[in-house]
Structure 1
Amino acid sequence: MRTLYTILSACLSVVCLLSVSCTGDFKDINTDQTGITDEDMEIDFNNLGIPLDIIQQGIYFNYDFGKGKNWPYQLMQNLNADMFSGYMHDYKPHNGGSSNSDYNLQDGWNGTDWGYTYAYVMPQIKKLEDSTRVDYPSVYAVTKILKVEAMHRISDIYGPIVYTYFGNEAEGYRPETQQEAYTAFFRDLDEAVGILHTYMDSKVKGPDISDFDLLLDGRPVSWIRFANSLRMRLAVRIAMADPVKAEEEFRKSSGDPAGVFEQSSECVKVSTRNGYQNPLGEINRVWGEVFMNASMESIMTGYGDPRLERYFEPAADQAARYKGIRQGTCFSHLLYASHSKIYVNQTTEPILMTAAEIWFLRAEAALRGWTDEEPGVCYRNGVVASFRQWGADGLDEYLQSDRTGADYVDAFDPANNIEARCLVSPKWEDDASNEVKLEKILTQKWLAVFPEGDEAWAEQRRTGYPRLFPVRFNNSKDGCIDTEIMIRRLNFPADLADTDAPLYEKLVNAFGKPDHAGSRLWWDTGRNF
C-alpha cells in the first residue's frame, strides 16, 4: 500500500508545527493566509468567485493551501467527529494504538478545525462581507449563510467562538458564548433570507454566481431554502437549552414561503465539477484508511438495512459480510485492513445536508408540539427520502421491521465483543413513549446523515441517540471523559494558552466550565424532555 504508513506518520509528526502557525496569535490568524493578491481579484468577478471558492472548499476542508490537501481533513474531522459519531474508524494504530480513539486526545490534531477555519475561511468571509454589502447584496446574503454553515460546525466542536467580532480589533476579537453565537447565527440567517427575498422581488439583478456555486445551483430561492433548512437544524439543536427560542426559530423557517428541502434530490453537496476532490475519498481509496465503525455494523446489519451495500464494501476474508472496528480498543496490529471500507472516492460529492435530515428535524419538532404535523408521517418521509437518495430497495418491508441492533463480535479479539446497544426498531409505533419515538427518529436520522460525521456527532451528543458502543479503554487525561457519557467536545487548541493567552482566557471564561473534552456544550443538557 505504498509507503503510506511512513508518509502519514511524517505528516502527523509535523502537524503540531503546522497547526501552531494556524492557531497562534489571533491578530496573525486574522491576516489572510491564502496568498491571493489584489491583482488576482480584479479579473472576471474573481473578487467574488475566489473568496466563494475558498469558503466553500473550506467547510468540508480541502482547500489547497500548498501544504497538502487531504491530511488536514483527516485531522480536522476524520480522526475525531467521523469516529466519535460512530460512523468510521482507521485501521491503523496511530501513536502506538492510543490516540483519539481511546480518548488519549492529540492536541496537534484536534486544534486544526479551529486553526484552519480561522486562517483560511473566516478571512475570506470577512473580505466578502465587506466588499459585497452595498454593491452585491445577494452575494452578501449567500456569504452570511455560508458563514453560519461553516461556523456552527466550529462552535459545535469547541463551544464559544470568535464570530461577530472577527476582524474587529477595537473589540479585541471578543469571543461569544455558544448561546450568543447561536443568537448571531439566527440573526445572520434573518438578514440573509430578507435580502434574498427582496432581491427576488426586485427588477435589479446582480451577478450570476452559478459558476462559483459549489454547493447549490446559484439561484437565490435555493439559498433561501438552504438557509431555512439550516435554521431548522440549529433550532432543534437548542431544543432543550432554549426551548422558547428554538420553537420560535423553527416556526420562522416552516412559515417561509420559499420552504425547506423536501425532495430526495435536494442535497447540499460540494461539487467536484471544478476540480475539488473529496478528501475522505483520497484517504479512503488511496491511503486505505477509512473503515466501518462497529456501531454502524451493529445497527445496519441488525436492521438488515438495504442502504448498507451503498455505504460500505463487503469485508475481505471475513465470515461476516460487513465488519466494523470498535472504538477505543487500543489495538496495535493492522489486521482490521480486511474489514469494510466506506463507499466514498475522490469524485464523490461531500454531503453537507439532505432533505431526509430536514424531515427528521420536522418529526422531532412535531413530537415537541411545535407544529401541527404528525411525527410518524415526517419520520416515514425522512426514511423514504433517504432510501430514494441512495437508490435503496426494500422500503416498505424496512418500515415494518421489528429488528434491532446486532451484537458486535470482534474478528480478532473476543475481549472487544459487546452486546447491542440499539434496541429500537425502524417500525414507527404511535403508542410508544416520546423518548422511544425520539430514539427512533434520531437513529434513522443518524443513518440518513451518513457520512457527514460533524452533524451526526453533534446530534448524538445532544440526544444520546443512537446508542453507540462505549470505548473499551478510556485513556482520557485525568479521567475527564466518562466512558458511558462519552466525549462531549474538543478542548480549545492547546497552543492558544501559550501563543495568545488573552484570547484563551476569554474563551475559557465564555465557556464557564473546565476546558476539557468531558465538559458539555451549552446545548448539550443531558436530557431530552
Structure 2
Amino acid sequence: MEKRVFVYMVLFLGCIACTGHFKDLNTDKTGITDEDTRIDWNHIGIPLGVVQQGIYFNYDFGKGKNWTYQIMQNLSADMFSGYMHDYKPLNGGSHNSDYNLQDGWNGTFWGYTYAYIMPQIKRLEDSTRTENPLFYAITKILKVEVMHRVSDYYGPIIYSNFGGMKSVYMPDTQQDVYHAFFDDLKEAVKTLSDYMDKPDEVFDFSRFDILMDGEILSWIKFANSLRMRLAVRIAMTEPEKARTEFQSAISDEHGYFEDPFELVKVSTRDGYTNPLGEINRVWGEVYMNASMESILNGFDDPRRKVFFEPCVDDVCLPDKNGKDSVIIPLKGQYRGIRQGTMFAHPYYAALSKIYVNVNTDAILMTAAEVWFLRAEAALRGWTSEEAGDCYERGVKCSFSQWQVPDADAYLQGDNRASDFKDVFTPENDIKARCKVSPCWDESASPEIKLERIITQKWLAIFPEGCEAWAEQRRTGYPRLFPVKYNNSRNGCIDTEIMIRRLNFPSTLLDESAEQYKALVDALGGKDNAGTRLWWDTGRNF
C-alpha cells in the first residue's frame, strides 16, 4: 500500500511546475484519473501524503530533493533563528548570511508551497467537504500548519481566494489570514469533536497519518495547541483577539499537548527522509550557529550533547608565513559559526555539526513549546496559572523529550551565556548578548521574565527554525548576535534590528504585476527584508 501511494505521489509531483501563475495550479497534469485514485482510498491518501511531507519540504521531482529544503528553510529561517550555519563560503562569502539576499533562494518557500502543496490541499478540501468531514477537518489543520509558516516568512499570502475561478488570486492581509487560521482551526475542532461522540463512524486513517498516531484526539490537541501558538503570536498587535483565542483553546475539554512525547513530527517510517539529514550528514553543511554556542555553552546545557556533536579533532593551520604549523585546540568542544562574517575559508568544517540524519523525524511542534505558550499567557494575565510554574514545566518537558537528566539542577543554576570567540578569526569575537539564566526569578520585571521564557522556548523547539525565527522576531529573544557585515540592498535591514521578513518572489513582478501590487498593498510597507510583519510590533508590553 505505502509503495503504491509513494509511486502515485511522485507522479503527482513530477508533473506540477513551480510557477507563480496561480491560474495553472489547479489543473491536474498527472494523467491520474479520479477513478484511479479511488482505489484503496488513494484519492485521500495521495494528496494527504503530499501535504504532510510538504510542511518540512522534501520531494524528488527529478533533480534531487534535499536542495529544495536547503534554499527554502536552511539558508534562511534555520540560520536567521540563530540555530545553524553553513561552513562553506558560498557566493564568495556573501549571501543570505550577510543580508546579501538571494532572490533565487528566498522565493522558493512561496513558489514550491503554491506549486506543490496548496493544490493538493484544495483537492482534499473539494473531495472531503461533504463526503468525509473527518478528513476535511484534518485538511484544515494541515492547511493552517503549512500556510502560517509561509505567512510568517512573507506577510500577506493567497489563502481565502486560492482555488477560485479568477486568473489572479487576490491576497489576504496577514491580519485577515490569521483570523482565517483561527476560524479553520475552530471548525476543525468542532468537526473532530463530533466524531469523538460517534466512534462507529470513524475511518481508520492511521496508515495515512505520518505526523502523529492516527487518533482523532491527537489531532484535536494539535489544533488547540496550534491555536495557542498563533494566539500568542498576535499578543501585541491584537491583544483582545489573542486573549480570546488562547482562552478558548486552553479551555477545550479535549485538551492540548502536555506530555513530553506528544509531538508533531514528520515520520521517516514510510519513506520520507529528513532533508536536513542529508544536507548535514552527506553534504556536511549544517553547523552550530554562534548564538547557539553562546547560550548552550554558557548555560552548560545538557541538551548540547544531543543537539550537536563536539568537534572531532584539533585543527592544524599554517602560520602567517605559511611555514610552521599552528594548532587550534578544538577536540571535544562545542563551537559555532557567527552569521554575517563573509568568511572565505573552509576551516569551519571542523566545528560542531547538528545531530540530524536522514532517518530523524522532522519536528514541527512539541509539548514543551505549549508549556512556554502557557507561561507567556500567564505572564500576560490571560489565565490563572503561574508563569514560573509553566516555565519550569516547559524546561522539564524538553529535558524529558530529549531524554536528558538533571532538569532540576539546571533550573537552579544561574549560569549566563558566554562570550563568542571565533577560533579562526578573532575580529569576529563578540560579547554575549543573552542576559538571563535558566533559574526563574519571580521578582524580575515582566520583560526579563519574558526573555527567560522565550530563550528556553527557543531551545525547546530546536531544530524547527521557522517557528524559532518567527518568535525571535516577535519578541527580540533570545538576543542573537548581529551580523558582522551588513550587505542588505540599499541598507534596508538595520544591523541591530535584524532581518524581519523575506521579500515576495521577484518572478511575481513579471508574471502577475496586478497580484504583486496587491501583495505589497496588503503588506502596507516596502517589499524588502527590513519591513516588519503585522504581528511584529517591536515591543512586548
TM-score (normalised: structure 1): 0.95
Aligned partner letter, 2:374: R
User: Cα distance 1:166–1:332, how it changes in 2: closer, same or farther (>3 A)?
Assistant: same
Task: Give the CA deviation at 1:174.
Answer: 1.5
**SS of the residue aligned with 2:177?**
helix
Aligned position for 1:301:
297
Of 360, 364, 380, the match for 2:372: 360
Q: Is the 8 A contact 1:32 1:120 kept in 2?
A: no
CA distance in 1, matches of 2:28, 2:96: 30
SS of corresponding position for 2:201: coil
CA deviation string 1:380-413 (max 9, x = no partner) = 0000000000011221111011111100000111
User: Compared with structure 1, are the counterparts of its residues 134 and 347 closer, same or farther at alpha carbon in structure 2 (3 Å cutoff)?
Assistant: same
- Is 2:509 the partner of 1:509? no
Does the alignment pair 1:421 with 2:419?
A: no
Counterpart amino acid of residue 382 in structure 2 = W
Q: CA deviation at 1:502?
A: 1.2
User: Hey, what does 2:358 align to over in structure 1?
Assistant: 346
CA distance in 2, matches of 1:264, 1:388: 6
Give the aligned partner of residue 99 of structure 1.
95
CA deviation map 1:327-367 (0-9, x unaligned)? 00000111100000000000000000000000000000000
1:59-81 CA distances to partner (integer Å, 9 max, x unpaired)? 00012333321000001000000
Alignment correspondent of 1:196: 192
C-alpha RMSD of the superposition:
1.4
1:8 corresponds to: none
3-state secondary structure, aligned to 1:44? helix
In the alignment, the residues of structure 2 paired with residue 47 and residue 21 of structure 1 have an alpha-carbon distance, to the nearest angstrom, of 21
Tell me the equivalent position of 1:175.
Answer: 171
Please show how residues 220-235 of structure 1 align to structure 2 within 5 Å. Answer: 220-235=216-231
1:464 is aligned, of 476, 481, 490, to: 476
Question: 1:11-58 CA distances to partner (integer Å, 9 max, x unpaired)?
Answer: xxxxxxx9x952422212343566755354121000110011000000
Q: Is the 8 A contact 2:47 2:121 kept in 1?
A: yes
Q: How does 1:22-37 map to 2 (within 5 A)?
A: 22-32=18-28, 37=33
Runs (5+) with no aligned partner, structure 1: 1-17
Give the counterpart of 1:407 among 419, 425, 429.
Answer: 419
**For 1:483-511, what per-residue CA distance to the aligned partner results, in whole angstroms no more than 9, with x for missing partners?**
00000000000111011111111101111
2:380 matches 1:384: no
Give the AA of the match of 2:147.
M
Extract unaligned runs of 5+ from structure 2.
1-13, 315-328
1:266 equivalenced with 2:262 (yes/no): yes
- The yes-or-no answer on 1:252 pairing with 2:237 is no
Question: What residue is the counterpart of 2:460 in the other structure?
Answer: 448
Question: Letter of the aligned partner of 2:229 in structure 1?
Answer: R
C-alpha change, 1:163 and 1:216, in structure 2 (3 Å) is: same
Q: Match for residue 387 of structure 2? A: 375
Contact 1:31 1:119 in 2 (8 A): no
Counterpart secondary structure, 1:402: coil
Deviations 1:64-120 (A, max 9, x none): 333321000001000000000000000011111000000000000000000000001
CA distance in 2, matches of 1:325, 1:418: 12
CA contact (8 A) 1:34 1:65 kept: no
**Partner SS, residue 446 of structure 1:** helix
**One-letter code of the match for 1:244?**
E
1:283-307 CA-partner distances (Å, limit 9, x unpaired): 0000100000000000000000000
How far apart, in 1, do the equivalents of 2:486 and 2:281 lie?
A: 30
What is the alpha-carbon distance in structure 1 between the residues aligned to residue 499 and residue 195 of structure 2? 44
1:238 to 234, 239, 254: 234
Aligned counterparts of 1:48 and 1:332: Cα–Cα separation in 2: 49
Distance 2:112 2:100 in 1: 22
1:139 to 126, 132, 135: 135
Name which of structure 1's ranges 295-304 and 389-398 shifts more when overlaid on structure 2. Answer: 389-398
Q: What secondary structure is seen at the aligned counterpart in 2 of 1:330? A: coil
Paired positions, count: 511
- 1:47 partnered with 2:59: no
Match of 1:478 among 484, 490, 498: 490
Partner residue, 1:524 = 536
Distance of 2:499 and 2:417 partners within structure 1: 22
Deviations along 1:253-306, one digit per CA (max 9) or x if unpaired, are 111001010000100010111110000001000010000000000000000000
Map of 1:432 onto structure 2? 444
CA contact (8 A) 2:294 2:419 kept: yes
Tell me which stretches of 4 or more aligned residues in structure 1 moved more than 6 Å.
none
Closer, same or farther in 2 for the Cα pair 1:423/1:35, shift >3 Å? Answer: farther
- Find the residue that maps to 2:384 and give its secondary structure: coil
Match 1:326 to one of 330, 338, 344? 338
TM-score (norm 2): 0.93
- Aligned partner of 1:154 in structure 2 is 150
Distance change (3 Å), C-alpha of 1:267 and 1:36: farther
Structure 1 position 112 matched with structure 2 position 124: no
User: 1:269 aligns to what SS in structure 2?
Assistant: strand
Name the CA distance, whole Å, in 1 between partners of 2:354 and 2:473: 23
The aligned amino acid for 2:503 is N
Distance verdict in 2 for CA 1:67–1:32, change over 3 Å: farther
How many angstroms apart in 2 are the aligned matches of 1:275 and 1:193? 29
Cα distance between partner residues in 1 of 2:405 and 2:200: 47
Secondary structure of 1:351's counterpart equals: strand
Contact 1:292 1:341 in 2 (8 A): yes
| Partner-residue secondary structure (3-state), 2:538 | coil
Counterpart Cα distance in 1 of 2:144 and 2:459: 24
Cα distance in 2, alignment partners of residues 32 and 484 from structure 1: 46
For the pair 1:121 / 2:117, whether they are aligned, the reply is yes
Distance 2:140 2:125 in 1: 8
Partner Cα distance (1:22, 1:35) in 2 = 18
What percent of counterpart residues are identical?
A: 68
Counterpart code for 2:188 = A
Equivalent residues of 1:33, 1:119 under 8 A apart: no
Give the Cα–Cα distance (whole angstroms) in 1 for the partners of residues 475 and 158 of structure 2: 26
